[in-house]
């Protein structure tokens, strides 16, 4: 700290040492992270710009309400909070790895780095599940006057505004036999899809409880592009962080740092990993909370 | 230089004994967890308000603002404690923090720009306004509303 420095009468700028009391690599890691913060910031801000330019934007609690293994229950925020805690905990284990490195404790570094890697992989797995669920999970959506099933992709968004009774009845009359059979099948799982295909459209519509149906219009297309783009870019950072940590783990195992006399490399990897956690805090805010 | 214990560029090290360090890490972890839980409670609050019969837009906005502030607090703790930026030399901190002040302009300018684009479109593109403006929440379901056929947008 500056106060300590003056107390020691250190002349930081007289040459021969780092005026920032920091090795070159670590300083450059900081500047890289700062520039990366601007990259992520620009992405998130452009998302904000588009969102503010729209009259309607999908409610995140409607979009992200699934948890693996819990079927169609409406559970907003649950899965993403698990992901957030995984990343916070892996950040804590990284702090412990860096601290072990300061003490030259090889076994400690290996242990905590391994836990950090486990956390990173767990987070990536969660994200893979979430993407898979959003892309492959199709929802009945009002498109050009009839109901069609679409998933959340970069070109389709099933999370528009709710369609009301009169318009819904009309849309159902315009929809194909197959769509209606699928809709009925969702609520009457005991009847096979093939059986339902044999019924007339009027019969199928009669089996639907129109007042209880939550069918939406198409939502803003930009939603998917921003969501997959930004969480994907963040996921890529997590992925490269895991690779960096694995490399650090192998180097620690092979006594590379012990021979070097210090574990400063772990500190730099740690900075990168904390940054990944930091970015997630903002991604979590922008996509899931507000 | 090579037989020096730590890099020659580092004049002095931050010595933190194990007990202080542990306390600091535990405290920060609890703090981050508690803030996240409060954020989640506010998130659920927003969800319930939206779901309710008469959503109060101001209250939602207030909750969202609160969540933003809590996120900044989280970011502060991650950077200053986990990344140890708080322990560095002041000049070093400034080279990181001062450029980040650009974000103040960045966020305001671009959000205002998006908002202005929306207002212009609502004024001059009535089709956009009619097809995208949310209808009054619930209650209005009984009244037969002529659904505008969504054409190509």
pLDDT, tens digit, 9 for 90 and up, residues B11-23: 776 667 888 888 9
Number of domains in chain A: 2
Looking at the structure, tell me whether residues A37 and A111 fall in a common domain.
yes
| pLDDT, position A200 | 84
Is residue B140 pLDDT above 70, yes or no? no
Domain boundaries, chain B: 18-100, 101-132
Looking at the structure, tell me whether residues A149 and A212 fall in a common domain.
yes
ipTM: 0.86
Looking at the structure, tell me whether residues A88 and A231 fall in a common domain.
yes
Distance from CA of B79 to the nearest CA of A (A): 8
Residue B120 to residues B116, B129, B135, Cα–Cα distance (Å): 6, 10, 20
Element (H, E) at A147: strand A146-150
Looking at the structure, tell me whether residues A154 and A168 fall in a common domain.
yes
| pLDDT, position B35 | 96
Is A53 part of a structural domain of the chain? no
Digit-coded pLDDT (tens) for B110-134: 999 999 999 999 999 999 998 888 8
Is A191 part of a structural domain of the chain? yes
Element (H, E) at B58: helix B57-77
Last residue of a domain, one of A162, A194, A217: A217
Contact A145, B151 (CB under 8 A): no
Last residue of a domain, one of A193, A217, A241: A217
The share of chain A scoring above pLDDT 70, in percent, equals 97
Looking at the structure, tell me whether residues A96 and A26 fall in a common domain.
yes
pLDDT band at B4 (very low <50, low <70, confident <90, very high): very low
Any B CB within 8 A of A13 CB: no
Residue of A nearest to B10 (CA): A21
Its domain, for residue A204, covers: 139-217
Neighbours of B83 (CB within 10 A): 26
Is residue B153 pLDDT above 50, yes or no? no
Looking at the structure, tell me whether residues A145 and A130 fall in a common domain.
no
Sheet with A139-143: list strands edge to edge: A146-150, A139-143, A216-217
- CB contacts under 8 A, B 12-41 vs A, are 12, 21, 25, 29, 32-33, 36, 39-40
Looking at the structure, tell me whether residues A30 and A129 fall in a common domain.
yes
Is residue B146 pLDDT above 60, yes or no? no
The answer to whether the pTM exceeds 0.90 is no
Looking at the structure, tell me whether residues A124 and A262 fall in a common domain.
yes
Question: What's the CATH code of the domain at A274?
Answer: 1.20.120.80
Looking at the structure, tell me whether residues A165 and A195 fall in a common domain.
yes
Q: Cα A188 to the chain's mean position, in Å?
A: 34
Closest CA to A113 of A225, A259, A257: A257
Looking at the structure, tell me whether residues A125 and A233 fall in a common domain.
yes
Looking at the structure, tell me whether residues A31 and A100 fall in a common domain.
yes
Any B CB within 8 A of A274 CB: yes
Distance from CA of B54 to the nearest CA of A (A): 16
More confident residue, A246 or A168: A246
- Section A35-64 average pLDDT: 94
pLDDT band at B135 (very low <50, low <70, confident <90, very high): confident
Query: What count of CB pairs under 8 Å joins A to B?
Result: 197
For residue B8 the two structure tokens come to 């020659």
Distance from CA of A153 to the nearest CA of B (A): 18
| pLDDT, position B7 | 67
Cβ-defined contact of A2 to B140 (cutoff 8 Å): no
Any A CB within 8 A of B52 CB: no
Residues of B in contact with A31 (CB under 8 A): 95-96
- CB contacts under 8 A, A 201-240 vs B, are 217-218
B6, B21, B133 member nearest A262 (Cβ):
B6
- Section A120-126 average pLDDT: 97
**Which of A107-111, A180-184, A208-212 shows the lowest mean pLDDT across its residues?**
A208-212
Contact A166, B145 (CB under 8 A): yes
Residues of B in contact with A275 (CB under 8 A): 83
- Section A57-73 average pLDDT: 86
Is residue B1 pLDDT above 70, yes or no? no
Any B CB within 8 A of A163 CB: yes
Any A CB within 8 A of B58 CB: no
Q: Is A77 left (phi over 0), alpha (psi -120 to 50) or beta?
A: left
Cα–Cα distance for residue pair B130/B133, rounded to 1 Å: 6
Chain A interface mutation, best of B77, B78, B80, highest count of A Cβ atoms under 10 Å: B78
Contact A152, A158 (CB under 8 A): yes
Is A251 part of a structural domain of the chain? yes
Last residue of a domain, one of A186, A217, A248: A217
Residues of B in contact with A170 (CB under 8 A): 147
Cα–Cα distance for residue pair A286/A46, rounded to 1 Å: 11
What own/partner pairs with CB < 8 Å and gap ≥ 24 does A116-120 have?
A116/A90, A116/A245, A116/A273, A117/A242, A117/A245, A117/A246, A117/A249, A118/A90, A119/A86, A119/A87, A119/A89, A119/A90, A119/A93, A120/A90, A120/A238, A120/A239, A120/A241, A120/A242, A120/A245, A120/A273
Cβ-defined contact of A45 to B83 (cutoff 8 Å): no
Digit-coded pLDDT (tens) for A218-249: 999 999 999 999 999 999 999 999 999 999 99
Looking at the structure, tell me whether residues A89 and A153 fall in a common domain.
no
């Amino acid at each position: 700290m500056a106060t300590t420095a003056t107390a020691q009468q250190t002349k930081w700028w007289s040459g021969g040492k780092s005026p920032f009391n920091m090795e070159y690599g670590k300083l450059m890691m900081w500047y890289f992270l700062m520039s990366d913060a601007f990259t992520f910031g620009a992405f998130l801000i452009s998302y904000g710009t588009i969102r503010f330019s729209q009259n309607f934007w999908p409610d995140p609690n409607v979009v992200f309400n699934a948890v693996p293994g819990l079927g169609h229950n409406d559970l907003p925020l649950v899965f993403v909070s698990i992901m957030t805690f995984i990343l916070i905990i892996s950040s804590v284990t990284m702090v412990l790895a860096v601290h072990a490195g300061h003490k030259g404790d090889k076994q400690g570094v290996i242990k905590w780095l391994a836990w950090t890697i486990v956390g990173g992989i767990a987070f990536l797995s969660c994200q893979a599940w979430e993407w898979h669920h959003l892309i492959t999970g199709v929802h009945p959506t009002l498109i050009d006057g009839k109901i069609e099933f679409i998933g959340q992709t970069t070109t389709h968004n099933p999370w528009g505004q709710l369609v009301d009774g009169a318009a819904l009845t009309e849309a159902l009359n315009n929809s194909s036999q197959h769509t209606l059979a699928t809709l009925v099948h969702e609520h009457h799982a005991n009847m096979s899809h093939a059986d339902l295909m044999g019924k007339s459209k009027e019969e199928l519509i009669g089996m639907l409880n129109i007042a209880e149906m939550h069918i939406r219009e198409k939502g803003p297309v930009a939603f998917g592009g921003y969501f997959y783009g930004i969480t994907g870019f963040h996921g890529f950072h997590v992925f490269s962080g895991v690779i960096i940590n694995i490399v650090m783990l192998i180097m620690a195992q092979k006594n590379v740092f012990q021979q070097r006399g210090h574990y400063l490399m772990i500190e730099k990897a740690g900075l990168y990993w904390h940054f990944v956690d930091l970015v997630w805090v903002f991604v979590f805010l922008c996509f899931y909370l507000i | 230089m090579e037989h020096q214990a730590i890099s020659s560029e580092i004049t002095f090290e931050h010595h933190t004994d194990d007990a202080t360090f542990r306390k600091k890490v535990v405290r920060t972890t609890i703090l981050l967890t508690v803030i996240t839980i409060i954020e989640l409670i506010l998130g659920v609050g927003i969800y319930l308000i939206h779901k309710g019969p008469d959503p109060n837009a101001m209250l939602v906005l207030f909750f969202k603002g609160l969540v933003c502030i809590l996120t900044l607090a989280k970011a502060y703790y991650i950077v200053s404690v986990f990344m140890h930026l708080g322990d560095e030399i002041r000049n070093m901190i400034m080279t990181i923090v001062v450029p980040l002040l650009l974000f103040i302009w960045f966020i305001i300018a671009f959000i205002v720009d998006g908002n202005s684009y929306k207002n212009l479109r609502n004024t001059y593109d009535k089709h956009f306004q009619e097809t995208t403006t949310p209808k009054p929440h619930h209650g209005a379901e009984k009244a037969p509303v002529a659904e505008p056929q969504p054409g190509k947008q």
